[in-house]
Structure 1
Amino acid sequence: MRRPLLRIVLVFALPAVLVGVWWAASAGSEDVYWPPLGTILRTFPEVWTGERWRGDVLPSVLRLAAGYALAAVAGVALGTLVGSRRRVRAVCEPVVEFLRAVPPPVLVPVIMLFAGIGDTMKILVIAGGCVWPVLLNTVEGVRAVDPVMAETARSYGITGVARLRDVVLPSAGPQIFAGLRQALSIGIILMVISEMFAASNGLGFAVVQFQRSFAIPGMWTGILLLGLLGFVLSVLFQLVERRVLGWYHGLRDASRRS
């Protein structure tokens, strides 16, 4: 009981301190661009009504989910192929290194030419940026499969899909989830950026509209909401990771106790 309570305290201690510092530093501020935190918090429920949640927050979350899911599937599939085939890796590595060095926001105008300015463009921008950490971590995870385990599986006739399901992916799982975690934060950033270009709704669009109309407290509420969204998604990701990689975390906990 004491350990979970201590963990909760540690999780919320630093955010509480930062909020306190922000509250004290901004109290009594008359700067238009730096309103008091109390004003921002009072503005929050006035701005983010049910209509705005349906019109801006929900479309953003759905775009993020679609782009992230597309990147996860493509990254794991291609990463498994490249990581398990030496010749494929030799051919693809220069192209992969070139493409991943191109900043995804630069591709927004290009994608707009082919996909238009609708949701498809925004989903492709998110997927195009999220796929690289997933792909590269999957490649490294597949390459790092224990040779003894792989040879044992081969000796027992475990090949093809069974080998992929029971040996390769579980062994590469921690590395794959490391890539998925990196991709999640990148996806949130690209979600906002893509909604700043020729959009009519979404969190990024709302923040820009507040800024252009000098509704500065409203703009700050949008920034706070994006931070809260990132925090919630991170917690959900950790819960999923704990469930899928329960065996891995169990081994780590056991090694720490020994």
Structure 2
Amino acid sequence: MRSVGAVASEVAGLRVVRLVALPALLVVVWWAVGGSTFYLPGPVEVGRAFAETWFSERLVDDVLPSLGRLLAGYAVAGVLGVGLGVPIGLSRRLRATLEPVLEFFRAIPPPVLVPLIMLLAGIDTPMKVLVIVSGCVWPILLNTVEGVRALDEVLADTCRMYGVRGASRLRRFVLRGASPQIMTGLRQALSIGIILMVISEMFASSSGLGFTIVLFQRQFQIAEMWSGILLLGLLGLALSALFRRLERWVLSWYYGSGAARA
């Protein structure tokens, strides 16, 4: 019989193969068709442009400001979404009053609000942060409301009987019980935030990833443009992996004791 270590190594090897196989296949296809037109350079040319473009002062001038605006807008949306979602989820009367208004504003696509936000907040960093907030807040808010609404009534009665009230009840029962739904909303908001980060930087901006990619497109620097798109994909992948680890840690009680180490 094989040892436990051998089985674990085999499982780890299969996991690595699954993670690498599809990206490798996509790169092979890209290499096969790349360079066939001016607008589709090959991976070697894009890789060279990637190194020359992003391992330079553009990392400080464009990438870091974009990430800063993304994280700022995401954090504000998280605080607003959870802060408003908890009382709305707890109060049936408040929920019935606000639900039509929330559904109305949720139905408005955030990119449509960009001209209005520009008029109200100007064209600098506050505008870009507000655009990110305007889209990220809704999945967090609505998932928080649903998570609070779905709290176990038996556990609620138990807290009441044992005198668990106030901040202790909010922290130990409400937020903990609703945390799976809250984390779902935060995960959805992260991908929306990346999209809105790029869109906000395409309007009257002088820095950022969105601005730089559009600038490359207008100057027909096609390889550099593709390198910016590639960088956005890599950033999204890295942020998703970091969030997955954070989610496993926050919800270790939900997934099991070994989730935080997964």
Is TM-score (shorter-chain normalized) higher than 0.5? yes
After TM superposition, the structure 1 = structure 2 runs for residues 140-219 of structure 1, keeping only pairs within 5 Å, are 140-219=146-225
Show the counterpart of 1:24. Answer: 32
After TM superposition, the structure 1 = structure 2 runs for residues 1-258 of structure 1, keeping only pairs within 5 Å, are 1-2=8-9, 3-26=11-34, 28-29=35-36, 31-250=37-256
CA distance in 1, matches of 2:196, 2:247: 23
Structure 2's unaligned 5+ residue stretches are 1-7
Give deviations 1:181-213, integer Å, cap 9, x for gaps.
000000000000000000000000000000000
- Post-superposition offset of 1:102: 0.2
Moved more, 6-15 or 39-48: 6-15
* Mapped contact 2:135–2:196 kept (Cα < 8 A): yes
CA distance in 1, matches of 2:175, 2:163: 17
- Post-superposition offset of 1:21: 1.6
Aligned pairs, how many?
Answer: 251
Show the counterpart of 2:5. Answer: none
Report the AA paired with residue 18 of structure 1: L
Show the counterpart of 1:256. Answer: none
- Post-superposition offset of 1:4: 3.5
DSSP-derived class of the 1:33 partner: coil
Pair 1:218–1:77, CA change in 2 (3 A): same
Pair 1:4–1:148, CA change in 2 (3 A): farther
* Mapped contact 2:131–2:200 kept (Cα < 8 A): yes
Moved more, 148-157 or 186-195: 148-157
Report the AA paired with residue 249 of structure 1: Y
Report the AA paired with residue 112 of structure 1: M
Show the counterpart of 2:4. Answer: none
DSSP-derived class of the 1:50 partner: coil
* Mapped contact 2:194–2:236 kept (Cα < 8 A): yes
* Mapped contact 2:252–2:258 kept (Cα < 8 A): no
Give deviations 1:130-161, integer Å, cap 9, x for gaps.
00000000000000011111111111011121
Pair 1:252–1:101, CA change in 2 (3 A): farther
Give deviations 1:78-119, integer Å, cap 9, x for gaps.
010100011110011000000010000000000011100000
CA distance in 1, matches of 2:13, 2:242: 19
Q: Percent identity?
A: 62
- Post-superposition offset of 1:23: 1.6
TM norm structure 1? 0.94
CA distance in 2, matches of 1:168, 1:8: 38
CA distance in 2, matches of 1:130, 1:211: 28
Structure 1's unaligned 5+ residue stretches are 254-258
TM norm structure 2? 0.93
Report the AA paired with residue 10 of structure 1: R
Report the AA paired with residue 200 of structure 1: S
